[in-house]
């Protein structure tokens, strides 16, 4: 499976371009947190503000991006989005005001909404159905590697340069990513809503809209609902992690970067396991496994906050980050594969856009909820204890629901033809 995947020229180009811009985006993200939190007197509200500035535009524009992807050449859209995002990031080099930083992060987010749904819709054009898990795992593995090494690189750069200067690297990364994407072939939209490989009898007729598809395919509804609820439950870690690192772990940017890197390392391991797998995969079983591993992060934070010892909390949280990353890698790959299997090709852009909006809606809900609850009504330990219970309840709901339907599986083929290798 690995051989077939890495020989697919277009898939490698797509993954390399995303990796380059992803590296730059991580550098900018950590530079902004460094400027406001670690080198300033930032609080939970400003930490939430940074996240909201990136997420609100994504919530609003993701459905629009998905619609554009289903109507126009996807290569051109991806190239344009990378160039425009680079222009927005360039403005961060020159500003100090927190509200201008929020504005430029929002503009960057608007242009970034294209990439994920575009990639989601392109992958089934590049590989056969039985290779979807392997292809998605390959792309997720690259994203995980970026999460491992980007914080280290960003930390090294921030040790030498000021945060504004470091952002220059992100501008360069967007330009380079756009140049790489021009090496892709033309990727015109699918004009006919042909059905996928599963639940075809439940899907609407060709030409029906995405909402009709969502109503007719229970599996898609479960994906969207589960994604929203799981995101609400765990996003508190993103909101509190920088301040938790500073106040409870008594760490710095280096500690913060290490924890993020461990999540990335786990993601790489999870995706690598799926990529190398030669047995039949039950996609929903993998999603449940990923969620169970994700609960370990919430447990680790709750335990570390409850004990209060910085050294103990650091060790426990490091383990939780690694195992949660493993779960994220498995879960993200198989959710992407489920969407690609259950959605007609002509609606994949809209499906990807709406999925992105759903995940972002969960993030925003959690970001708004977390500062209201912590520390006013709940301690950090209590908050993440409740998050653990919420995710476990979601797991029970998913298991009870999918038992009523036929399993959705993918069986890797050892001798699969190298589909679209020359595309």
Note the pLDDT tens digit of each residue in 239-293: 788 788 888 888 887 788 788 878 988 999 999 999 888 888 999 999 999 999 9
Give the pLDDT of residue 421: 35
Average pLDDT of the chain, as a whole number: 86
Report the distance separating Cα 229 and Cα 224, nearest Å: 9
The band of 200, judged by pLDDT with boundaries at 50, 70 and 90, is very low
Within 10 angstroms of residue 252's Cβ, the number of other Cβ atoms is 14
pLDDT for 165 equals 86
pLDDT the model gives residue 40: 55
Q: How far is Cα 386 from Cα 339, in angstroms, rounded to an integer?
A: 29
For the domain made up of 8-184+200-404, the CATH class stated in words is mainly alpha
- Please state the pTM of the whole predicted model: 0.86
DSSP annotation string for 154-210: HHHHHHHS-HHHHTHHHHHHHHHHHHHHTTSPP-PPPSS----SSSGGGSPPTT--H
Chain Cα centroid distance, residue 312: 29
Q: Which two tokens stand for residue 224?
A: 């969207």
**What's the pLDDT band for 5 if we cut at 50, 70, 90?**
low
Question: Which has more pLDDT, 160 or 298?
Answer: 298
Q: Given phi > 0 = left and psi -120 to 50 = alpha, else beta, which region is 420? A: left
Domain boundaries, the chain: 8-184+200-404
Average pLDDT of 15-19? 94
The pLDDT score that the predictor gives to residue 420 is 35
């Amino acid at each position: 499976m690995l051989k077939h995947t890495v020989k697919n020229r277009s898939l490698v180009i797509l993954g390399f371009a995303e990796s380059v811009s992803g590296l730059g985006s991580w550098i900018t993200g950590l530079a902004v947190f460094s400027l406001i939190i670690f080198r300033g007197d930032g609080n939970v509200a400003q930490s939430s503000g940074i996240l909201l500035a990136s997420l609100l535009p994504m919530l609003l524009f993701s459905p629009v991006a998905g619609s554009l992807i289903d109507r126009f050449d996807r290569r051109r859209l991806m190239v344009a989005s990378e160039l425009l995002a680079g222009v927005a990031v360039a403005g961060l080099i020159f500003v100090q005001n927190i509200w201008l930083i929020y504005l430029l992060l929002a503009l960057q987010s608007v242009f970034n909404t294209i990439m994920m749904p575009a990639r989601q819709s392109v992958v089934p054009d590049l590989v056969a159905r039985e290779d979807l898990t392997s292809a998605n795992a390959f792309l997720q593995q690259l994203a995980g590697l970026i999460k491992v090494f980007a914080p280290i690189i960003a930390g090294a750069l921030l040790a030498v340069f000021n945060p504004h200067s470091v952002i220059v690297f992100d501008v360069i990364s967007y330009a380079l990513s756009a140049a790489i994407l021009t090496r892709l072939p033309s990727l015109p939209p699918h004009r006919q809503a042909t059905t996928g490989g599963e639940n075809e009898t439940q899907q609407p007729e060709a030409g029906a809209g995405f909402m009709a598809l969502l109503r007719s395919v229970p599996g898609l509804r479960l994906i969207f609902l589960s994604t929203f609820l799981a995101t609400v439950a765990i996003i508190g870690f993103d909101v509190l992690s920088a301040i938790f690192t500073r106040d409870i772990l008594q760490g710095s940017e280096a500690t913060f970067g290490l924890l993020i890197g461990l999540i990335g390392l786990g993601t790489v391991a999870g995706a690598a396991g799926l990529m190398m797998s030669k047995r039949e995969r039950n996609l929903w079983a993998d999603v449940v496994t990923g969620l169970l591993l994700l609960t370990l992060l919430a447990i680790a934070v709750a335990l570390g906050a409850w004990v209060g010892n910085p050294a103990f909390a650091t060790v426990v949280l490091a383990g939780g980050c690694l195992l949660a990353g493993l779960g994220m890698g498995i879960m993200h790959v198989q959710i992407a594969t489920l969407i690609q299997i259950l959605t007609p090709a002509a609606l994949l852009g809209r499906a990807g856009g709406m999925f992105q909006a759903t995940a972002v809606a969960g993030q925003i809900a959690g970001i708004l909820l977390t500062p209201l609850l912590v520390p006013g009504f709940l301690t950090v330990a209590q908050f993440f204890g409740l998050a653990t219970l919420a995710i476990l309840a979601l797991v029970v709901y998913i298991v009870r629901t999918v038992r009523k339907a036929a399993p959705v599986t993918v069986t890797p083929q050892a001798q699969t033809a190298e589909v679209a290798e020359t595309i």
